[in-house]
Each structure stands twice: as structure tokens, then as C-alpha cells.
Amino acid sequence: MSGMERTTDEWQRIDVEHHLHPFTDPRYFDKKAPLIVTRADGMHVWDSSGRQILDGMAGLWCVNVGYGRKELIEAANRQMSTLAYYNVFFQSATPPQIELSRLLAEVTPEGLDHIFFANSGSEANDTIIRMVRHFWEVQGQPDKHVFIGRKLGYHGSTVAATSLGGMQNMHAMGRSLLPGFEHIMHPHWYLEGGDMDPDEFGLKAARALEDKILELGADNVAAFIGEPIQGAGGVIDAPRTYWPEIERICRKYDVLLVVDEVICGFGRTGEWFGCQTYGVMPDLMPMAKGLSSGYLPIAAVAYNERVHKVLKDGGLFSHGYTYSGHPVACAVAIANIDLIRRDKLVERVRDDVGPYFHDRLKAAVGDHPLVGEVRGKGLLAGVQLVKDRDSRTLFDTADNVAMRVRDLCLERGLIMRAVGQSMVASPALIVKRAQIDEMADILADSLNAAA
Ligand code: PLP
């Protein structure tokens, strides 16, 4: 039988037998069954037993417009019936690719007018690695090849994107740290700032980039990459002094600035892109997730005129994917961007639900004995768990407190994620105030149960 109607027990048994889950220790399923999600609508998902759960993560930080939007479904239907796929010798294009390139040039920060398509954030970042190194090679500077990222940065899980990121456990597995990738400290004021005030610490953390460039020699450094807010690292939002200083240093040493908008893009931080929240201007910008609200896999790299001119002089750009700019995914992304604009979802995050989300979370759990800090921007929040608030001492990793809180939330009908020792949340941009109240109350209740 290959049908979609099975009992929960059957789904779980077959899943464990045949399906290796990403980022999962398979032994987890010796003790716990996988959650089988069968349907979704608006802010909610339903599991295979019919239980309704509030999705506080928008899938994997991606379903920005919420589930079940007919505009996206119809766009996919229409495009699939008209032209499901086309590419052959690469010097062709389809209307959805062309239209989406134009639209992205319009909604991205001024000057990022050129677009390359990929299928995932990892592929977009692999593209950037090849594009940026090619950029310097074309100009006769092949040694300018090193990428500098940050500890706990996450840019994907292909080998190159793993190297770009700063997750040490990922580097260690399968010898996945390639040469030519360096990492500086992450701007985590709460855990690394000590007695410094946040602004002072922001400058210190940014100057680690200057130290690294001087150590390696600017002639060897191709680019710096960072997420506006480090998502998978635990929603680490840098103090306001950090990004302007990073930009100044990049310009001083002629190091390209890459801002990874895979999570922050498309309204999550209360502007279209996280770099706008922090007032910095990247040379290149990868986007994915919220680009199609996760309805279909698609990613893009936007880059500026300087990069474009050099790429043009460089001739053949030997890079691409069978599904670069897949017409159905592009059509869905166009419908998604139209919807975000029509319903003014970015403004909604900036002026209404974003501030409410943070106020409400702080009010509900900010003073809880297990909580050290509530941080983030817009509809992106991290709740730092601590064993001791005064000394900012963390729990033993073996205690798995965040995972316990995650499970307690799930039992109470809410999906949040546990990342390290933080609870993170990123609800869809359509979230209602009453649903934010529900999230905050369930989290508080779960923390009480874990304490
Ligand atoms: N960049 C950032 C900031 C991400 O958070 C992620 C995924 O979570 C990626 C890149 C990789 O994207 P994907 O999983 O689509 O390859």
C-alpha cells in the first residue's frame, strides 16, 4: 500500500524503519515516536491523531504567510498546468523567473538588482562562495579567497555551507571543515559580554573581524558572512553598534559583505530584510525560506552592480542547478510576495504584532527563575534558559532542559524549538494577538512545569 491513509502507529513504525531524519540521533526514536503532521491551516498544524497544535515556529522559520493560502496554491496550479518545467541549454528563461527577478530587485534593498536562483539556503550560500571567489579571480586576486563567518553561525549543511557556518559539531562530523573558512566570535552579549555594556561589547565583537583580517592579511580575505540575527545559533541579536562597525571594517579592507537573509528576510524582523533593521548594506544577500513561505523549495542570491560588472567581465560562470528558478516555485514566490505586500505583513510585524510579541513574552517569562534573557526582533525571539540568573550560569548540557520545555510546550499544544539552551519562536507574520497570548502563557506554564 502506498496510500496516505494509515494509523498513527503505522506511520510511526514505517517512518522509523525507512526514514533518516535530518539533524536527528536515530536512537531518539527508541524512546519517543516521531510527530506525524498530516495537515495545516493558518497558524495551526494537525497531527495524525487529529490534535490541533499552534505552530510557533512557522515550520522551520519559513511559513511567513501561514498555511493553506489559496493565492499560493492557485499560482502553483496555474503554473504547473501552463509550464511545469523548462531549461535546456541555459540561455532560455521562463516568465516566472523573469518576473520574480524583477520583483526581488524591487523589494530588496536599493542596489541589489541582480538575481541568481537556487533551491535552498545551502545552495544559495554555495553559490555565493563560488561567485565571490570568481569575483576576485577575475580581478587578478585569486588569493583573496578566505570566508570569515562566526561561531554558531548557520548557513546550511552542504559541505561548503557547513564550512561557512560556525557549528563545531557539524565541522567535526565527516571532516566537513574545508580549508579557506575562518570563524570569529559571535556577538552574544548576554553570555559573552561580561561587565561590558551592550554597545561597547558590540564594537568589541565586530573588531574581532578586523583582528582576523589583519591576521590573515586583507589580500587573502574574500568576504565576511553573517546572519542579521543568528537564528539556529539561538536567536542571537547583536547590539546596535555591531553591524555598522562590521560594515566599516569590510569597506576599509575591501572585503565583500554577505548578509544571510534566509531566516530574517521577508518581514520577519519588521523590515523586508534584517539588514534594513540593522542599517547595513550587503554586497550579496542569500534568501530562501520566506521567499516562497516554504510552499515550494526556492532560494535566490541578490547582488549589487559592482559584483555584476565583474561577473560580466569574467565570462562564463560555470555554476547552476537543474532547478535554478523552477517556474512553479517562482510563480509561488511571486504570489507570496504579492500577498505580503497586499496584506502589509511587514508593516504589521514592525508596528503591531512584533512589539506585542516581545512585550508579551517578557511579561510572561522575563522574570522566571529559569529565564536569563528574552531577545530578538519582530517575530523572532529567543528565550535564554539559565540555571542561575545572577551568575548567568547555564545548565549542564546533559540536563536537556530546553528539550524538556519544548516537549512540555508540545504537550500543551504549542510548537517551539529548543536550540542549545534557548527556546526559540518565529510564528507566521499573520499571527493574532490572542495567539501570541496563548504562546506566552503556554511557555510560562511549561517553564513552571520544568522548574
Ligand atoms: N542560512 C540560514 C541563516 C539558515 O537559517 C538556513 C537554514 O535554516 C540556511 C542558510 C540553509 O537553508 P536550507 O536549509 O534551505 O539549505
SS3 of the chain: CCCCCCCHHHHHHHHHHHCCCCCCCCCHHHHCCCCCEEEEEECEEEECCCCEEEECCHHHHCCCCCECCHHHHHHHHHHHHHCCCCCCCCCCCCHHHHHHHHHHHHHCCCCCCEEEEECCHHHHHHHHHHHHHHHHHHCCCCCCCEEEEECCCCCCCCHHHHHHCCCHHHHHHHHCCCCCEEEECCCCHHHHCCCCCHHHHHHHHHHHHHHHHHHHCHHHEEEEEECCEECCCCCEECCCCHHHHHHHHHHHCCCEEEECCCCCCCCCCCCCCHHHHHCCCCCEEEECHHHCCCCCCCEEEEECHHHHHHHHHCCCCCCCCCCCCCHHHHHHHHHHHHHHHHCCHHHHHHHHHHHHHHHHHHHHHCCCCCEEEEEEECCEEEEEECCECCCCECCCHHHCHHHHHHHHHHHCCEECEEECCEEEECCCCCCCHHHHHHHHHHHHHHHHHHC
Report the residue among 119, 225, 229, 289 best suited for mutation to probe ligand 1: largest number of ligand atoms under 8 A from its CB.
289
For ligand 1, is residue 120 a contact (CB within 6 Å)?
yes
Ligand 1 centroid distance, CA of 64 (Å): 15
Q: Is the dihedral of CA 257, 300, 61, 361 positive or negative?
A: positive
| Cβ-contact 253, 204 below 8 angstroms | no
Is the beta carbon of 155 within 6 A of some atom in ligand 1?
Answer: yes
pLDDT of residue 292: 98
Which pLDDT score, from 0 to 100, does residue 1 have? 44
**Residue identifier of the C-alpha nearest atom 10 of ligand 1:** 155
Residue type, 294: G
Q: Which CATH superfamily is domain 35-65+344-450 in?
A: Aspartate Aminotransferase, domain 1 (3.90.1150.10)
The pTM for the full model equals 0.97
**Does ligand 1 have an atom closer than 6 angstroms to the CB of 233?**
no
Pair 228, 269: CB distance under 8 Å: yes
Q: Which atom of ligand 1 is nearest to the CA of 120?
A: 15
- Every domain of the chain with CATH number 3.40.640.10 lies at 71-342
Q: Which of 237, 263, 291 to mutate to test the pocket of ligand 1 (most atoms within 8 A of CB)?
A: 263
For the chain, what percent of residues have pLDDT higher than 70? 99
Alpha-carbon gap, residue 268 to 281, rounded angstroms = 18
Torsion sign (Cα): 87, 93, 98, 101: positive
pLDDT of residue 5: 87
As given in the structure block, the three cell numbers for residue 4 are 496516505
CA of 263 to the centre of ligand 1 (A): 7
- Asked whether 156 lines ligand 1 (CB < 6 A), one says yes
Cβ of residue 235 lying under 6 Å from some atom of ligand 1: no
CATH 3.90.1150.10 placement within the chain: 35-65+344-450
Q: What percent of the chain has pLDDT over 90?
A: 97
- C-beta separation of 33 from 25 below 8 A: no
Residue 89: the pLDDT is 83
User: What does the pLDDT average to over 232-243?
Assistant: 97
Span 379-385, mean pLDDT?
A: 98
Work out which ligand 1 atom sits closest to the CA atom of 289.
15
Q: How far is the CA of 260 from the centre of ligand 1 (A)?
A: 9
Residues 424-433 have pLDDT tens digits of 999 999 999 9
Whether ligand 1 lies within 6 angstroms of the CB of 439 is answered as no
Which strand ranges, in their side-by-side order, compose the sheet holding 37-41?
37-41, 44-47, 52-55, 414-415
Q: Work out which ligand 1 atom sits closest to the CA atom of 60.
A: 8
Among 62, 154, 170, 287, residue to substitute to test ligand 1 (most atoms within 8 Å of Cβ): 154
Using alpha carbons, select from 45, 65, 23, 135 the residue that is nearest to residue 339.
65
Cα 120 to ligand 1 centroid, rounded to whole Å: 7
| Ligand 1 mean position, distance from CA 113 (Å) | 22
pLDDT band at 253 (very low <50, low <70, confident <90, very high): very high
How far is 187 from 204, CA to CA, in rounded Å?
Answer: 9
CA distances from residue 241 to 199, 247, 270, 374 in whole angstroms, order as listed: 5, 11, 19, 19
**Integer Cα distance of 194 and 197 in angstroms:** 8
Query: For ligand 1, what atom is nearest to the CA of residue 121?
Result: 12
CATH code of the region 71-342: 3.40.640.10
pLDDT at 256 over 50: yes
Please state, in angstroms and rounded to a whole number, the distance separating the CA atoms of residues 43 and 314: 47
Residue range 177-195: average pLDDT?
Answer: 96
Q: What is the pLDDT of residues 391-414, one digit of tens each?
A: 999 999 888 999 999 999 999 999
The one-letter amino acid code at 332 reads V
Question: How confident is the model at residue 397, as a pLDDT?
Answer: 87
| Residue 3 CA to ligand 1 centre (angstroms) | 31
Residue 2 has pLDDT above 80, yes or no: no
Average pLDDT for 280-308: 98
Distance 95 CA to ligand 1 centre (A): 27
Mention every residue, 6+ apart, whose C-beta is less than 8 A from residue 363. Answer: 440
* pLDDT per position as a tens digit, 77-135: 999 999 999 988 889 999 999 999 999 999 999 999 999 999 999 999 999 999 999 99
Q: Are 422 and 385 in contact (CB under 8 A)?
A: yes
| Per-residue pLDDT at 62 | 98
The per-residue pLDDT for 364 is: 98
* Mean pLDDT over each residue of the chain, to the nearest integer: 97
pLDDT value for 3: 53
278 lines ligand 1 (CB under 6 A): no
